[in-house]
Each structure stands twice: as structure tokens, then as C-alpha cells.
Structure 1
Amino acid sequence: MNAKTVNVLYKYADGAHFFVSDDEETLGLCVAHKQPAKAFAAVSITLTKLFKENYGQEVTFTPSLSLPAFMEWFMAQTEAATSKPSPGAAGILKWNPSQNGIAA
């Protein structure tokens, strides 16, 4: 199986940063941490482990958005959400696969 870009749903809820995916290749992804940088970094590690476990292939996943860009996006979402009845931030981010350092 060839790895493809994974859509990862991000949600900030109850003081934790959650990353999950419904993509078939990465079923089981659920990362959460109170520190956004730690949760964000754990997604790549977890996706790589899941793909190895599910398909026996060494694939490295990297986010299409850098951590500073993610944090900027998160802060903008949070500020915009404070005026809504249920504050929070949510969105879909992409993680891209590469095998042996080559984009898949």
C-alpha cells in the first residue's frame, strides 16, 4: 500500500489539544496533550508507528504546516472563537508521507 496525505482533525477542548484521523490508513490516531507543541510533535511519531503497525512499511509523516504556523493559526482561531457561544478551535491539518526521505 502506498501512503498518502493524511487529514488530521484538530480540536482544542477542555484545555487539551486533540489530533485524530478518520483516514483508513491511520485508524487509531488519537493524540492529546495540554501543551500544543507536544501534541503537534506526537502526531508525526504516532502516524509513523500506526502505518508501520498496520502495513509493515517504514513511512515518515511530516506536517504540511510548521509548528510556528500552526500556533499562529491556533491563536487566530482562539481569538475569533471567544465571541461565539462555545469557544474553541478546530480544523483539518494535513500530514504528508515520505519513504526513505522521498515524498510518496
Structure 2
Amino acid sequence: MLVFSSSLVAQAHSAQIAGDFPFIITCEYKGMTHAFYLSRVDADGLATYITPSRRAGTISVEGTAKALGESIGGSCLGKTIQELRASGQAHDLSR
């Protein structure tokens, strides 16, 4: 029973953290729009986003967007989640 209840607490905490992040972030790079999908949120609250073409980036609730792998530019880099939402680049799933 203890294992089961600690699992529920972990799931509730994960759902709350994931709720702080948009499901999709769209970024423009070299005249093309790329859709970055929420892939995971680690225990420290760092979200990883990935595109179908395997470009990836990270962002935390209080931090700014950073590219992973190749250092590319784009319209998302250095923006906070609030700035991405305000610019229409962050998209949530409707419930």
C-alpha cells in the first residue's frame, strides 16, 4: 500500500509540473516554423522539447529556452515561457 500511495503522490506532482509547460512551442528558424513537442519534465523541473526532425531544446518554469545539440538560432532562444505565451508561440492542449 505504501508503494501505491507514493506512486500516486509522484504522479500528482508530475502532472502539476507538466501543467506549467505548454504542450507545443513553435519557433521560426531560417524562414521555417518548427513545432517542438513536450517530451519530458525531469525531477528538477527542466522540460525537454523535441521536433520530429530531432531538434531539441530545454526550458524551466523560471528560465529561458536553450538549444540542445547543434547551436542554432531561432525565434525561441532566450525567451521565457511567459514571453513564448505572449508572442503566441506556446500552445496548450484544450481539456
TM range (shorter): 0.3 to 0.5
Q: TM-score, normalised by structure 1?
A: 0.30
Between the two structures, name the one with larger relative contact order (CA 8 Å, sep ≥ 6): 1
Q: TM-score, normalised by structure 2?
A: 0.32
More helix by share: 1
